[in-house]
Amino acid sequence: MIRLWHLLGSHQLATVLLGVLALLAMLGGTLPQTARLNPQERQGWQQEWSASSGWLDSLRLSDVFGAWWFWLVCALLLLNLVTGTLQLMMRLRGRREPGMWGVALGHGGLVLLIAGAMASAVSGFGAHLELTEGEVWSGAPNKLVVDRGHADEFSGMLRLDKVEAVVEQGSRLRDLRLAVSWQEAGGAAQAGEISSNRPLHVAGYRIYPDNTFGHSAVLERVLRDGSRRLLLVHFPLPRAQWGAMNWQVEHGRAINTGDEIRSFRLRLEGEPARLHMNVSRGAEQLFEGWLNLGDSAEVGGERMTLRQVSPWAGLYLAADRGVPWVFAGVVLAVMGFVFHLIGRRW
């Protein structure tokens, strides 16, 4: 037991674990990680890496920071730091060496940092949300595509007011600026802007741009029985076309009308926006033609009208209770290092 006690707190074990952790961090920072990709990026990654995505998933190399073996290394390093810190404090008992107490303080900061990071991985939450210009979200869970964790109730209101695609430095740098308004439960209405380096804090969540942007078309369907349905189609716009006046995007989908399945091939162009629609039922073509805003067409007994074309943007919602512990650990580790340097001069 004594040998195990000394091994758990040894510098040699810490060096090995730090080396393994650095290697895993390099893999996680180099290989595509599905937890960091939005739905469109994830689909593109699976198509581009079709030959290797399967074994990357099976080995958890596409989710390094969520794999059990990454957690095991973190837990061992945390155990090593706690044990080493206890051993150091036992050796320092009754001694007045400020520099060595700085080492103990720095180790305690590292313990907090790693424990906070692990708590963050357990309790953290992340989800993708797509909103159309003028759309209000009040916490409906069916709008979220969850990456990790479980969401608490969103006690507020968020409205996407305006989407602006910013093109800088000779069309090489493209960014999104999202004008939003929000109101937390019992609070006053507020307005502001979200950009890549300026997240918004609303109802306990941090909200970032999700680097997805496009246009949505709203089609009103008048069915054979006279009832009305709205069909909302999102068209993701490639980053190369952000900010362009003349853009073109395509989308295909199948719709079950109750007694048959119809295949839609849609192409949206701008500006001004117009929609090319090709609708078929099996080998039979039901409609092909262009629709401008307000235009209607008869499609297999239904009347379809293009009501609206609006920009939409993706948002990313994150909540992380472990962040304060991580920051506290960083502060303690730096303080311990500085105290150690000053103590050595003393």
Residue-wise pLDDT tens digits, 179-226: 999 998 878 889 989 987 788 888 888 898 888 889 999 999 998 888
Is 339 part of any domain?
A: no
Q: Is 65 in the same domain as 156?
A: no
Q: Which of 75, 93, 111 is the last residue of a domain?
A: 93
Round to whole Å and give the CA distance between 79 and 111.
Answer: 9
Q: Where are the alpha helices (DSSP H) in the chain?
A: 2-8, 11-30, 39-48, 53-58, 68-92, 98-123, 323-345
Residue 269 pLDDT > 80: yes
Among 274-278, 315-319, 333-337, which is the least confidently predicted range? 333-337
Q: What percent of the chain has pLDDT over 70?
A: 90
Q: Is 42 in the same domain as 189?
A: no
Confidence of residue 315 (pLDDT cuts 50, 70, 90): very high
Is 105 part of any domain?
A: no
Per DSSP bridges, beta strands 296-299 and 228-236 are: unpaired
17 and 77 in contact (C-beta within 8 Å)? yes
Q: Is 153 in the same domain as 44?
A: no
Give Cβ neighbours of residue 244 (< 8 Å, ≥ 6 apart): none
Q: Which residue segment(s) compose the domain that 39 sits in? A: 2-93
Beta bridge partners of 257: none
Q: Is 89 in the same domain as 131?
A: no
Q: Is 250 in the same domain as 168?
A: yes
Is 121 part of any domain?
A: no
List phi, psi (to 5°) of 67. -75, 150
Is 0.85 surpassed by the pTM of this model? Answer: no
Q: Is 182 in the same domain as 314?
A: yes
Q: Is 80 in the same domain as 130?
A: no
Confidence of residue 346 (pLDDT cuts 50, 70, 90): very low
What does the pLDDT read at residue 106? 80
Give Cβ neighbours of residue 121 (< 8 Å, ≥ 6 apart): 65, 66, 71, 322
